[in-house]
Amino acid sequence: MKERLQQIKEEALAVMGKTESLGELNDLRVKYLGKKGLITEVLRGMGKLSAEERPIIGQLANQIRDEIENLLVEKTESLKAAEKSRKLQEERIDVTLPGRTFKIGKKHPLTQVMNDIENIFISMGFQVVKGPEIEQDYYNFEGLNIPKDHPARDTQDSFYITEEILLRTQTSPVQVRTMEKNEPPIRVIAPGKVYRRDADVTHSPMFHQVEGLVVDENISFSHLKGVLIGFAQRMFGADRKIRFRPHYFPFTEPSAEVDVSCIICQGDGCRICSHTGWLEILGSGLVHPRVLEMAGYDSEKYSGFAFGMGVERIAMLKYGIDDIRLLFENDIRFLQQF
Lowest-pLDDT choice from 89-98, 109-118, 264-273:
264-273
42 in the same domain as 157 = no
170 in the same domain as 66 = no
Q: Look at residues 211, 214, 259, 260 and name the one whose alpha carbon lies nearest to residue 240.
A: 260
- CA-to-CA distance for 151 and 250, rounded, in angstroms? 11
Q: Which of 58, 90, 122 is the last residue of a domain?
A: 90
Which pLDDT score, from 0 to 100, does residue 103 have? Answer: 80
96 in a structural domain: no
- Band of residue 167 on the pLDDT scale cut at 50, 70, 90: very high
99 in a structural domain: no
Decide if 3 contacts 59 (C-beta within 8 A).
no
288 in the same domain as 143 = yes
Q: Which of 90, 119, 138 is the last residue of a domain?
A: 90
Please give the single-letter amino acid code of residue 147. P
Which pLDDT score, from 0 to 100, does residue 50 have? Answer: 65
23 in the same domain as 144 = no
327 in the same domain as 201 = yes
122 in the same domain as 48 = no
Q: Which domain holds residue 24?
A: 2-90
Helices (DSSP H) in 124-161: which residue ranges? 137-140
116 in the same domain as 265 = yes
| pTM listed for this prediction | 0.67
Q: Look at residues 50, 56, 323 and name the one whose alpha carbon lies nearest to residue 201.
A: 323
